[in-house]
């Protein structure tokens, strides 16, 4: 399990790439994979937790919309996101980081977009 400072470091790296105008499809691995897994939450077939799952998918789509305005459904996300989010492509070691990014990257981007350098 990654430590909090490691999660915050990944968050900061993604924020830096966003500020530099680098599209997520150009991000280095594993940042690109973490981002994809954040946008498309993992669905465990044996668990029936629909309300929680719906909330996580909504958070993922908000994150997608931050980078690609108008992408409001999973069908509208870029093809490479769908490809890397398939079950065989996911990295279970990155799920905790992806969860952290899903919850915090949008806020980090908004914070950076509205800060003023005095």
Sign of CA dihedral 71, 66, 55, 90: positive
- pLDDT the model gives residue 47: 55
Flag whether pLDDT at 16 surpasses 60: yes
Token pair, residue 68, equals 């690609």
Q: What is this structure's pTM?
A: 0.87
Token pair, residue 12, equals 């900061």
Among 39, 35, 19, 38, residue whose Cα is nearest residue 114: 19
Instruction: Answer for the pair 109, 66: CB distance below 8 angstroms, yes or no.
Output: yes
Taking only the tens place, the pLDDT of each residue in 23-75 is 999 999 999 999 999 999 886 655 555 555 678 888 999 999 999 998 888 88
Taking only the tens place, the pLDDT of each residue in 71-110 is 888 888 899 999 999 989 999 999 999 999 999 999 999 9
Q: DSSP labels for 23-76?
A: -GGGSPTTHHHHHHHHHS----TT---HHHHHHHHHHHHHHHHHHSTT--SGGG
- CB within 8 Å of 95: residues ≥ 6 apart: 37, 42
Q: Hunting for tokens 């996580």 — which residue is that? A: 56
Q: Hunting for tokens 């509205």 — which residue is that? A: 114
């Amino acid at each position: 399990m990654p430590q909090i400072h490691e999660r915050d470091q990944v968050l900061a790296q993604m924020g830096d790439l966003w500020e530099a105008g680098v599209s997520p499809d150009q991000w280095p691995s594993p940042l690109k994979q973490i981002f994809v897994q954040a946008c498309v939450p993992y669905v465990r077939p044996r668990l029936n937790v629909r309300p929680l799952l719906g909330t996580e998918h909504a958070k993922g789509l908000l994150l997608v919309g931050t980078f690609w305005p108008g992408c409001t459904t999973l069908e509208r996300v870029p093809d490479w996101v769908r490809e890397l989010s398939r079950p065989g492509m996911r990295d279970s070691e990155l799920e905790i980081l992806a969860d952290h990014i899903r919850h915090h990257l949008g806020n980090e981007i908004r914070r950076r977009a509205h800060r003023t350098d005095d």
